[in-house]
Structure formats: C-alpha cells, structure tokens
Amino acid sequence: MRDVAIIGVGVTKFGELWNKSFRAIGIEAGMKAMEDANLSGSEVDGIFIGNMSAGQFIKQKHIDALIADYSGMATRNIPATRVEAGGASGGVAFRQAVMAVASGMHDIVLVGGAEKMTDMDDTSINSVLDATADAEWEAGMGITFASLHAMMARRMIHDGIATREEIASFAVNSHFHGALNPNAQFRKAITLDTVLRSGPVADPLGVFDCAPISDGAASLVLCPLEDAKKYTDSYVKVSAVTQASDSLALFQREDITTYGATVAAAQQAYSQVGITPQDIQVAEVHDTYTVSGIMALQDLGFFKRGEAGKAVLEEQCHIGGKIAINTSGGLKARGHPIGATGVAQIVEITEQLRGSADKRQVPNAKYGLAQSTGGTGSAVTVSILEAI
C-alpha cells in the first residue's frame, strides 16, 4: 500500500448560494483545488464525489458523470465515482479516494463534495434528511433527525454526562471560530444566552443547537506521498482514514450517549498511526447538533466521559486552548451542505497543518483529525493527517 498525500485544497463559500448552480459550485471548488496543487487538470486520472441527495434536491442523479463532464474530464473518459453515506458522504468519498491512490489503481485523484439544498422548500428538505434515519422504525413513525438528537441530549443531561448549558456551549465555540472564517455561512460570534433562548426545535434543542441548511462544495487533490514534491512544497500526509458502522436505528443501541462507530474508527486510526488522542492539536468534528459535537469529543478520546461539555464551556476548545475544535466554524457556523461537509473538514485540517489557516491558525500543529458522521452515527469515518 502506498502512502498518500493531499497536495491541493479548495472550498466555496458556504451559505444560501441562490445565484449559483450545483454545477457551478462543484467546478469552482475543483478548480481551486487543482490550482492550489499547481495542476492543469490533465494530470488527474480519477474523481470521487461525496453527495447525499442531488437526485432529490436538484433532480439530478449520476453526479459522478455530471462532474466528470463539467470539469472537462469526460472527454478523456476519466472515471468518476459518487458515494453516499448520509452525512458521512464526504468522509467516505475521501476514504475511497485514498484507497484508489494507495492501491495503485489511480495516481492523481480529485475528491469533491457538494450539495445544493436551498433550492427546495423546508418541509421537503426535512423529508429528504429524515430518509437517512431508519425508514421503517424511525422516519416512517414520524421521528425527525432533530428529535433523535434531542433524545440523546436528554439522556446525557439525565445521566449527568453534560448539562444543558455545556451542550449549548458547543454552538458558541463553533460561532467563535466561524467569525474568523471568510467562507463560513455565519460569521458572527454568539453568547451562551443566544443558544439557550433560541426558538425550540426538539426540546431541549433550539434553533442554535442545529446546523443550518446550506449550499457549498469542497475539493481535494491526492497523490502518492513520494510524488507530492513534484507538484508543491505545501502538502500533508494522510496517516490514517478509517470507517465504521453502527445500527441504523437508535433504539437498537445499548447506550445512546456514545457513538460506537466513532469509538471503533478512532481506535483503529490512532493505532494505525501509533499515537494517542492527546497527540492531536486540531480537529474537525461532525456537530450536526451541539449534542453530537460534545459526544464526538468524548468518543474520540479528547476528553473523558462527563468532561467534554465542561471543557467546551470553559473555552478549552478555542484556538490556543487544550485542543482546537472546529476552527472552520464547524457544521453549525461554517454551514452544512451535506455532501461537502466531510471534504471541507479535510480542507480545514490541511490548511491548519500546512500553516495556511490565516486568522484561524493553530500554532505548530503536527497531527489533525476529522470525524465525519452519517445518520445518528450509523456510519463514521475518522481521518488523521500529519504535517510534513
């Protein structure tokens, strides 16, 4: 198996991009990544796309072919592959691309993640999102994604794992960083009070506990580590990218205050690299809801069970704190165009490790981690990148 490097990254602004089509944002992110890697495009021999629901959001399936076509690569018959794993679509696309280069089946691979969600009305959007829960045992019974997460939050509060205030503080952390990111959907710091007093969605979670509906795209260029220097001096190593699954429905788990798939994927990733959670200086975690952010910090081993919420409330997860979490603004403030999210996380960690994160720069980071989650933790990828 060959070692793999990330030699280019690109991301569009995230938000309500009503003046841009899915095609336009997909190509924008891809062009930025290729430019960043000093490529003309003719070097690319494979494309992997993370996308959750273009078939419903914009009535276009077969996004693999669309992107190959509109990037001009179909004229060279370059293979393109779309993967979907609910919210983890971007993370899984990244993993497939790493596999493609590691195996030797491809040399220079473009990874894309994109979603255009805001061209649809809110009720329809929610029915699309709920289809990543169990259709027979959850969504079909009227359970929404927000209510599933509200149950987890209630249980965490009940068990004394985190207080309502601690859970809410995750959004404050995300907005604090989002204000520093020019590509974020929301660029405004907020107070704890704003989260606690926000309109109810599914008790105890309010509007500010939930990631927004967004449009956006992100892109990466990968190549074998040994070839990276041919293209750029500014690259990072992919040290591990693991994936794990859990039951689709929440009721089938013994404990709903932890994601077994995150724990399994993280343990595998740390062991592959030979490090511990304490060696990570910067991480992007999948905060679809504040409660999933808190849970991630525990499941990834950054904090002991019962201590993550307290740490976030005490601002230990800001840049300069114990560990910098969601410096991009996370799903909550940077935005959450679903298929793009997992790829955008890798973009952020790459920027951090190569020292190009501007106002969000974490000093001297050696290892960075990204966690991408589908459904209620039914599919999880954990990636560890390393500065060179």
Binding site for a copy of itself (CB under 8 A): 1, 23, 52-53, 55-56, 58-62, 64-66, 68-69, 73-75, 77-86, 92, 95-96, 99-100, 102-105, 128, 131-136, 139-140, 242-249, 252, 260-261, 264-265, 374-375, 378-379
State the minimum distance, in angstroms, from the CB of residue 215 to a copy of itself: 16
Task: Give the pairing of strands 215-224 and 4-11.
Answer: antiparallel
Rounded to whole angstroms, the Cα distance separating 67 from 97 reads 15
Rounded to whole angstroms, the Cα distance separating 238 from 95 reads 10
State the minimum distance, in angstroms, from the CB of residue 380 to a copy of itself: 9
Cis amide leading into 204 (omega within 30) = yes
- Cβ distance to a copy of itself smaller for residue 81 or 147: 81
- Cβ distance to a copy of itself smaller for residue 84 or 386: 84
Cis amide leading into 79 (omega within 30) = no
State the minimum distance, in angstroms, from the CB of residue 367 to a copy of itself: 21
- The tokens 């002991």 sit on which residue? 304
Q: Are the C-beta atoms of residues 67 and 80 closer than 8 Å to each other?
A: yes
- Cβ distance to a copy of itself smaller for residue 166 or 246: 246
State the minimum distance, in angstroms, from the CB of residue 145 to a copy of itself: 11
Rg of the chain's alpha carbons, rounded to an integer?
19
State the minimum distance, in angstroms, from the CB of residue 288 to a copy of itself: 14
Q: Which residues contact 256 (CB under 8 A, 6 or more apart)?
A: 151, 152, 155, 250
Q: Select from 44, 93, 102 the least CA-distant residue to 347.
A: 93
State the minimum distance, in angstroms, from the CB of residue 16 to a copy of itself: 20
- Cβ distance to a copy of itself smaller for residue 297 or 338: 338
- Cβ distance to a copy of itself smaller for residue 86 or 204: 86
Rounded to whole angstroms, the Cα distance separating 270 from 98 reads 17
State the minimum distance, in angstroms, from the CB of residue 133 to a copy of itself: 8
- Cβ distance to a copy of itself smaller for residue 57 or 231: 57
Rounded to whole angstroms, the Cα distance separating 331 from 293 reads 10
Q: Angle at the Cα of 194 (from 319 to 258), degrees rounded to 5?
A: 65
- Cβ distance to a copy of itself smaller for residue 96 or 281: 96
State the minimum distance, in angstroms, from the CB of residue 142 to a copy of itself: 13
Rounded to whole angstroms, the Cα distance separating 291 from 320 reads 23
Residue 213 identity: I
Q: Are the C-beta atoms of residues 204 and 165 closer than 8 Å to each other?
A: no
Per the DSSP assignment, residues forming a β-bridge with 283 are 325, 369
Query: Integer distance in angstroms from the first to the last C-alpha of the chain?
Result: 19
- Cβ distance to a copy of itself smaller for residue 59 or 158: 59
